[in-house]
Amino acid sequence: MMVTAYDATFGRLVDEAGVDVILVGDSLGMVMQGHPHTLEVTLDQMAYHARCVRRAVQGALLVVDMPFMSYQVSPEQALISAGRLVQEGGAEAVKLEGGGREEAVRRIVSAGIPVMGHLGLTPQSVHEFGGFRVQAREDAAAERLRRDALALQEAGAFAIVIEGVPAALATEVSASLAIPTIGIGAGVGCDGQVLVIQDLLGLEDRFKPRFVKRFAELAGAVREAVGEYAREVRGRDFPGDEHSFSAVTQPVEPPKAASGGGYGPT
């Protein structure tokens, strides 16, 4: 299974949780940057967030999204962009959206960089779709998705994300391919699943799309904890003696890893 991460803290936590694949998704444009879509995310920003996650991940495969306009111009541009995500971001594979990109996929794969495809509700085409709407409900669009999936496989993609399409179609496409599919809003018939970490943890609680399941309700927990901190600070209950230092130093173990609180001797 796959989950997104955009920083070292969540990179470490989801890696320790045992996920197979961590995706530094361009969804960071929405959940990190607060945009209504992914279209303003740049290659520099993807490389930066990928590097943050890279430092924290030991076990999972690290896949990094190629952002809007970093691969659409030409197969050469796609190869150069993918190379930057590997060299600057530490990506082990890249993901790009849409059908008709076989030449770009071939060029990247031939340079030794594994490519994941992404079909269906591809967020970088949000304006073409007129919003984030379920795709491939009509026969012609479903047929195009079947063809695109086979073409991506043929071009050398090692997996395909299928997003926001009818479950029966995703099941059928998954069965027709030798490579795995990873679904989001595409039913249980895909080989794997992916969710955005903020959705999965309930950190985004302003709306819940149908395809999201919240496995925790952390937005409320965050508000509660920070509210309690604010009350204690205003009431001078925090910091207590146990959080404060005396003039006499006592040698202690140095902190194992960098954290906001590690000063060494108390």
- Residues forming contacts to ligand KIV in the complex (CB under 6 A) are 4, 23, 25-27, 65, 118, 161, 163, 184, 194, 196
Closer to ligand KIV at the Cβ: 93 or 161?
161
Closer to ligand KIV at the Cβ: 86 or 196?
196
- 3 state SS of 169: helix
Which helix (H) or strand (E) segment is 227 a member of? helix 218-234
> Under a CB-based contact definition with an 8 Å cutoff, are residues 24 and 53 in contact?
yes
Give the CA-trace dihedral at 97, 102, 104, 107, to 10 degrees.
140
Minimum gap (Å) between residue 147 Cβ and ligand KIV? 21
Amino acid identity, residue 136?
A
> b vs e for 126-135, b when ≥16 Cβ sit within 10 Å of the residue's Cβ?
beeeeeeebb
Minimum gap (Å) between residue 28 Cβ and ligand KIV? 7
Give 253's contacts (C-beta < 8 A, 6+ positions apart). none
Minimum gap (Å) between residue 184 Cβ and ligand KIV? 5
Q: Which of 102, 163, 172, 253 is catalytic?
A: 163
Rounded to whole angstroms, the Cα distance separating 185 from 166 reads 8
Rounded to whole angstroms, the Cα distance separating 248 from 29 reads 48
Closer to ligand KIV at the Cβ: 106 or 118?
118
Annotated active-site residue 92? The verdict is no
Closer to ligand KIV at the Cβ: 152 or 264?
152
Minimum gap (Å) between residue 226 Cβ and ligand KIV? 26
- The separation between CA 150 and the C-alpha centre of its own chain, rounded to angstroms, equals 24
Closer to ligand KIV at the Cβ: 71 or 233?
71
Residue found under tokens 């590997």: 86
Minimum gap (Å) between residue 71 Cβ and ligand KIV? 14
Question: Where in the chain does DSSP place strands (E)?
Answer: 2-4, 21-24, 61-65, 93-95, 115-120, 159-163, 181-184, 192-195
Cβ-closest residue to ligand KIV? 25
Active site residues: 163
